[in-house]
């Protein structure tokens, strides 16, 4: 099952969810590690390049993910006992996760292009800087990037805990259907 149905996620949505989640947590760790390095550390430039390259690949993945979400149905809640307020909270938390991913990656782009130079993604694709830049762009975007990275990671941990609660306490399919494709009739 490639696409989502009213009651289950398809393989594309599942794969992209977990690939992006693992990559985001890894980039977060790499980001915290690399800002502690100094110019004299062997991996100073390499770690920053890797972070930027993977970050830009994530930005493309996010755009594809949003397009995929728009051409798909979003499965209805797997928790029949959830109140309207709970369903709304989950919905807005998902929108917030999408928004945070977007602005985090854009702020990373703004730090990296503050000097007017393009980002060379794995030496294959050149993403140009904006034709203008604003005062203190590197510092402002850098501060935003740090705050947004922490916010995204903390919110996604809360989101992960909510998924575990659905699995272990409410004992419904919420988590399972994001791990494997569950045919509609037995969902």
Binding mask 30-49 for ligand HEM (x = CB under 6 A): -xx--x--------------
Of the candidate residues 7, 8, 14, 108, the single one contacting ligand HEM (CB under 6 A): 108
Max Cα-Cα span within the chain: 60
C-alpha closest to that of 36 among 21, 25, 51: 51
Q: How far apart are CA 97 and CA 145, in angstroms?
A: 15
- Long-range pairs of 110-117 with CB within 8 A, sequence gap ≥ 24: 110/137, 110/141, 111/137, 111/138, 111/141, 111/142, 111/145, 112/52, 114/138, 114/141
By CB under 6 A, tell whether 164 contacts ligand HEM.
Answer: yes
Q: Considering beta carbons, is residue 97 or 131 the nearer one to ligand HEM?
A: 97
* 61, 82, 102, 146: residue in contact with ligand HEM (rule CB under 6 A): 146
Which one of the spans 37-45, 129-137, 158-166 is the region binding ligand HEM (CB under 6 A)?
158-166
Examine residue 17 and tell whether it contacts ligand HEM (CB under 6 A).
Answer: yes
The DSSP annotation for 149-186 comes to: HHHHHHHHHHHHHHHHHHHHTS--STTHHHHS---GGG
Could you tell me the smallest distance in angstroms from the CB atom of residue 42 to ligand HEM? 18
Name the nearest CA neighbour of 35 among 111, 100, 106, 110: 111
- Applying CB under 6 A, does 180 fall inside the site for ligand HEM? no
Look up residue 173 and give its two tokens. 């399919």
Indicate whether 142 belongs to the interface with ligand HEM (CB under 6 A). yes
Residues at the contact surface with ligand HEM, assessed by CB under 6 A:
17, 21, 24, 27-28, 31-32, 35, 51-52, 55-56, 58-59, 69, 74-75, 78, 90, 94, 97-98, 101, 104-105, 108-109, 111-112, 119, 142, 145-146, 149, 156, 159-160, 163-164, 174-175, 178
């Amino acid at each position: 099952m490639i696409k989502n149905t009213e009651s289950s996620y398809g393989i594309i949505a599942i794969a992209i969810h977990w690939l992006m989640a693992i990559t985001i947590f890894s980039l977060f760790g790499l980001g915290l590690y690399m800002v502690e390095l100094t110019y004299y550390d062997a991996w100073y430039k390499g770690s920053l390049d890797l972070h930027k390259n993977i970050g830009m690949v994530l930005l493309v993945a996010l755009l594809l993910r949003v397009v995929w979400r728009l051409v798909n149905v979003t499965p209805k809640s797997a928790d029949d006992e959830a109140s309207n307020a709970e369903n709304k909270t989950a919905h807005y938390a998902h929108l917030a996760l999408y928004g945070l991913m977007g602005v985090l990656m854009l702020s990373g782009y703004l730090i990296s292009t503050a000097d007017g130079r393009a980002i060379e993604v794995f030496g294959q694709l050149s993403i140009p800087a904006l034709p203008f830049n604003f005062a203190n762009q590197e510092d402002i975007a850098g501060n935003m990037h740090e705050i947004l990275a922490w916010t995204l990671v903390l919110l996604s941990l809360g989101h992960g805990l909510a998924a575990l609660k659905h699995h272990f306490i409410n004992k419904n399919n919420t988590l399972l259907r994001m791990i494997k494709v569950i045919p509609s009739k037995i969902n």
